[in-house]
Amino acid sequence: MKKCLNCFLVLLGILAFPVFAQGPQNPITAEDADNLRVVTLLRQHTAPLTEMRFSPQGTAFVTASLDGTLCVWNASTPPSGQQRFCVEGYTPAVTLHRWSDDDQTLAITDALGSTILIYDADGEPIQQLPTNEAPYLNLEFIGLSLLAHDVYDTYTLYAPLTGDILAQVEGMDSAATATQVAIVDFDGQVVIWDAETGEKARVLKPDEATHAEFASTGQLVTWGEQVQLWNPAESIHPQPLSDSRIDKAQFSPDGRWLVLWEGESASIWDAATGEQTSVMNELAGGLQSLTFTPDGQRIISIDSTGVGRLWTLNEAGVATQLLRFRNNIDRMFISPDSLTGIAARNNFAARFYNLENAQLRGQYEFGVDAVISPDWTIVATSVGNLVVWTGLQSDSRVFDFAPIGFTNQPANIRANPATDLARVALMREGDPVFAIGRTTDNQWLQIIMPDGVEGWLFTSNVAVQGNIEDLPIGTQE
């Protein structure tokens, strides 16, 4: 894979942006649907976007495109929205990428999906892992190690900085904590490795398990023919919670509660005692998704018909329906403080809810493919080959591509700098103006809009906050 760094831009960025004192920003809340604006645009790609993702700590942002490149951008690291580097050889639905939990290491597969390349956070190559016989399906950093799962259902644990293979086994499913990896092999056994060394710590022998999931406490649930809960320090064969085949098992964030998906209901169990505490019913067609709020006090379920419900979970593990969300939803975003939920639906505005009091507070236009930064200060969406970052109007960060000002009245956008030409778009008063050029007399600004439309805006319609002379002379059609 060839790295395509624009050295001139990197050098220019170092000279122009040596140090930034950039403090924390306020997160987006349920009350902020009317307080949002586009804060910057990312414009590197020349073909439509296929992927975008924030790194775990939110310092970086990754985009990938049909143009065959994967690019990394500054996110919380200033200046926000500045391109760090791009790599060539990206193949949609084949190339994988994954950050380490500390945002310091990035693993990317090549165009064939069978060779893993390791980069540091600035795009410097660190290691190339041995080429695999088959393309990989998934990558996951576990502490300092990297777990790779390929299309032959082989799980390989790598030391990514040295390229060493620590452990390898064929299996059906995997689960991991920061210190251990569990693989369900084709005999229905669970092989547990030490995540750092790859040494086999123990082997559990469930009753024909096909899946496994760890709790944050280290407790492990296995399911297949039966559902069984395992103590992290013992290999004693536990009594089954259920003799039924379930769809999925899921722990609460603190590991206290276990939810079993089964048909059109979900049962909640005390993970310490193995006792069932309540049942969530009326999940038509079964569950599409179930998400705990980070504090573990609420659950949001979306059934297969798109009906979303908000449940409260009390100290006894009893779930009570608090709200049925308006209209159907496809995805729910939940804030780190557990107070805000954003319900997204294809081709509809996203609805902002206060989860504490189960109230709808507003709506804003973005869809289910949006991604939100870990600190909840940026909502990223894509339009064609353009990435749009939306944040609070009060966002004080330094952005690499900032608006030159804001419209001071409704304004027409023209195909060329002339008022007698047809209007190609209309801007509202107060819209941010992202300028990419100007006329020689500075009477017109060439702009790009968040929907990707380019055109010309009369400068008098803009409350200019930047220096127009810094813009290049624009090109006309």
Q: What is the pTM of this model?
A: 0.91
Q: List the one residue out of 269, 276, 277, 305 whose CA is nearest residue 289.
A: 305
Q: Which residues pair with 119 in a beta bridge?
A: 106, 125
DSSP strand pairing (180-185 vs 164-176): antiparallel
DSSP code string of 350-384: EEEEETTTTEEEEEES--TT-EE-TTS--EEEEET
Q: From residue 359, give the alpha-carbon distance in Å to each of 294, 345, 354, 365, 447.
A: 19, 18, 5, 19, 38
Within the chain, what is the greatest distance between any pair of CA atoms? 82
- Whether the per-residue pLDDT at 17 is higher than 70: the answer is no
User: What is the pLDDT averaged over residues 97-107?
Assistant: 97
Whether 326 shows a pLDDT value over 90: the answer reads: no
Structure token pair of residue 159: 């030391």
Q: Flag the least confident range among 11-20, 81-90, 225-234, 263-272.
A: 11-20
> 3-class SS at 468?
helix
The residue-averaged pLDDT of 321-343 equals 95
pLDDT tier for residue 147 given thresholds of 50, 70 and 90: very high
Torsion of CA 210, 215, 218, 224, to 10 degrees: -20
pLDDT at 7: 38
**pLDDT, average across residues 436-442:** 96
Is residue 134 pLDDT above 50, yes or no? yes
Q: Residue 241: its pLDDT value, please?
A: 87
Structural domains of the chain ordered from first start: 1-16+27-93+368-396 (no CATH), 405-470 (2.30.30.40)
Check: CB of residue 170 under 8 Å from CB of residue 152.
yes
pLDDT at 12: 33
Helix (H, G, I), strand (E, B) or coil at 394: coil
Contact 43, 384 (CB under 8 A): no
- Joined together, the tokens standing for residue 177 give 């904590």
Q: How far is CA 267 from the centre of its chain?
A: 28
* pLDDT band for position 409 (cuts 50, 70, 90): very high
pLDDT at 22: 61
In this prediction, residue 9 carries a pLDDT of 32
Task: Give me the mean pLDDT over the 372-382 stretch.
Answer: 97
In this model, does residue 21 exceed pLDDT 70? no
Query: What mean pLDDT is predicted for residues 354-372?
Result: 94
**How much is the pLDDT for 2?**
40
Rounded to an integer, the average pLDDT of 76-82 is 92
Going by pLDDT thresholds of 50, 70 and 90, the confidence category of residue 5 is: very low
Residue 204 has pLDDT above 50, yes or no: yes
> Which pLDDT tens digit goes with each residue over 29-74?
999 999 999 999 999 999 999 999 999 999 999 999 999 999 999 9
Write out the DSSP string of 172-198.
Answer: EEEEE-SSEEEEEETTS-EEEEETTT-
| Residue tagged 């006894």 (tokens) | 316
DSSP code per residue over 230-279 = E-TT----PPPSBSS--SEEEE-TTSSEEEEEETTEEEEEETTT--EEEE
Mean pLDDT (whole number) for 153-162:
97
Report the percentage of the chain scoring pLDDT > 90: 85
- pLDDT at residue 260 above 50? yes
Average pLDDT, the chain: 92
